[in-house]
Amino acid sequence: MDFLAKLALQRMTSLYEMRENNEAVDVHFIFDNDPSKRISAHKLILAAESPVFKAMFYGPMKEKDEINMADTTIESFVAFVKAIYQHFDAVNMENIYDVICLADRYDEQNVMDFCEKFFGLNANANNVCRILNEALRYRLTALESSCVSIMALHSKTILKSPSFLEMDFDTLEHIVKSQFVFCSAKDKLDACFKWAHHSCVTNAIDLTPENLRKQLDSALLHIRFDQMSAVEFIKYEELYPMFSFDEYKNIMAKINKVPVKCKKQQRRLT
């Protein structure tokens, strides 16, 4: 660490200690409309780090000195504020998903950068799907590349991990069509079905074939059905009849390497 960086960190440490001791604080964040549940800070520090806070405190529609907070917990906000003061020890794998959400909401780039590095250092086969979810949501390209590298090494383990079921649809589709997920088409299809099943249960949706297919939407179009045998696909379709007649016909044509004729060709043949 060079001299200037060390000096800046020392100053932030002094300011952090002042905040901890409630010295010169001039803004208070209230939770659950309970004055006893509040976090205090310095407007100038928050405004210097976040354009959103700057607008809140010094803009034409500036907030009062006490701000009622919603859509977050006091524990997560404490970790976020500490990170703004360059004290990142409060951030861990349990609260980082809330912290990065707050960093995005308040456009706090330093905390966002820290979260990206933290995710990269702690990503593994068991949590990479959930971390990739965050990388895609917040457009963290370096973190996305790290996740892809892990996926390439542990593809089968990742498809069976609990975090695979917890990601959103965009991440599911990203994984299904990724050329770096090295596993069979059947493994991907099994994983997709389990994800759809979990999605229906989580959202209290009836477990009908139509609803399962609706959950998967366009993600199924990226599966290489031509790498499955006809017997494998037919057995799967008998167990989980999710496909329409046209989809079934097109998939069987791909499996049997039969070109699907366009309407113009069909008219000519007729």
CATH 3.30.710.10 positions along the chain are 13-122
Is pLDDT at 160 greater than 50 in this prediction?
yes
Choice among 68-72, 98-102, 133-137, 150-154 with the minimum mean pLDDT: 68-72
270 pLDDT tier (thresholds 50, 70, 90): very low
Q: State the alpha helices, DSSP H only, in the chain.
A: 3-20, 43-49, 51-58, 74-84, 96-105, 109-122, 128-137, 141-153, 155-159, 162-166, 169-177, 185-202, 209-216, 230-239, 245-255, 263-269
167 pLDDT tier (thresholds 50, 70, 90): very high
Whole-number pLDDT of residue 22: 87
266 pLDDT tier (thresholds 50, 70, 90): very low
Question: In terms of C-beta distances under 8 Å and separation of at least 24 residues, what long-range contacts does 198-205 make, across chains too?
Answer: 198/165
The pTM (predicted TM-score) of the whole model is: 0.84
CATH value of 13-122 in 3.40.50.720, 3.40.30.10, 3.40.1000.10, 3.30.710.10 = 3.30.710.10
Whole-number pLDDT of residue 96: 97
